[in-house]
Chain A
Amino acid sequence: QKEVEQNSGPLSVPEGAIASLNCTYSDRGSQSFFWYRQYSGKSPELIMSIYSNGDKEDGRFTAQLNKASQYVSLLIRDSQPSDSATYLCAVSALVFGTGTRLLVSP
């Protein structure tokens, strides 16, 4: 059974801080990894994809992948209250984590 694990949170950070969201996965052969943001009552919105070990930056977001440790993370710099949402880690298109709820306080 392929699993994706995330801390459900909530992760609380003050506005302007860096939020760090983490995810581990069980299938060592996984090749593609995605971070989605989901506001309450809305559909998931794709933020980042990452396929290779290392860091990938897009604006305030940085995804990090370590295949040896089976670990994916998402850093959000200069966090804003509008970033308050649940962040879903997905491995390929097939397995999603339960999500980490992020709360950014003004």
Chain B
Amino acid sequence: EPEVTQTPSHQVTQMGQEVILRCVPISNHLYFYWYRQILGQKVEFLVSFYNNEISEKSEIFDDQFSVERPDGSNFTLKIRSTKLEDSAMYFCASSEVPGLGYFGPGTRLTVL
């Protein structure tokens, strides 16, 4: 069964460094999402992407964040200058129709 994959599974970085989180969505899906989940808290929407552009973004998704679909398969989330409070699990999701999200396994980001 096709699935969303994410790399790396765990990323440790120093405060102020840039990180890029990578996702390979399910191949025939058109809608892509990034979420984060701080330990013990709820899943928070960051951004959705459709037709090669951002369709929605949350207040969390400020100028420090960017997304790209550099080729036909990868979908990336870049955090330009990480802060301690960016430490969280970051989930990528994809769907054929809006909202029906199949989640990847996540990347645990630890900012020291």
CA A50 to CA B40, docked complex, whole Å: 27
**A42 contacts B105, CB within 8 Å?**
yes
Contact, CB under 8 Å: B42 / A43: no
Kindly identify, within residues 80 to 112 of chain B, every residue whose CB is under 8 Å from any CB belonging to chain A.
89, 91, 93, 95, 98-106
Q: Which of B45, B95, B98, B103 contacts A44 (CB 8 A)?
A: B103
Task: Indicate whether A95 reaches chain B with its CB closer than 8 angstroms.
Answer: yes
A94 to chain B minimum Cβ distance, whole angstroms, is 5
For B, the interface residue count at a CB cutoff of 8 angstroms equals 24
| Contact residues in A for B102 (Cβ distance below 8 Å) | 46
Q: Are B45 and A93 in contact (CB under 8 A)?
A: yes
Asked if residues A93 and B101 are in contact (CB atoms below 8 Å), the reply is yes
Which A-B residue pairs are the 10 nearest by beta carbons? Answer: A93-B99, A96-B43, A43-B103, A98-B42, A32-B99, A94-B45, A92-B99, A44-B103, A43-B106, A96-B42
By a beta-carbon cutoff of 8 Å, the part of chain B in contact with chain A is 31, 33, 35, 41-45, 48, 56, 58, 89, 91, 93, 95, 98-106
Give, as a whole number of angstroms, the nearest-CB distance from B5 to chain A. 11
- Secondary structure of the B contact surface, majority rule: strand
- Which A residues contact B (CB, under 8 angstroms)? 32, 34, 36, 42-46, 49, 88, 90, 92-99
Excluding A43-B104, A97-B42, 11 further A-B contacts by CB distance (< 8 Å) are: A32-B99, A34-B101, A44-B91, A45-B103, A46-B103, A49-B100, A88-B43, A93-B31, A96-B43, A96-B45, A98-B41
List, in ascending order, chain B residues with CB within 8 A of A93's CB: 31, 33, 45, 48, 93, 95, 98-99, 101
Query: Could you tell me if B98 and A46 are in contact, using CB atoms closer than 8 angstroms?
Result: no
CB closest residue in chain B, given A44: B103
Q: Write out the residue numbers on chain A whose beta carbons fall within 8 Å of the beta carbon of B35.
A: 96
Contacts of A96 in B (CB 8 A): 35, 42-45
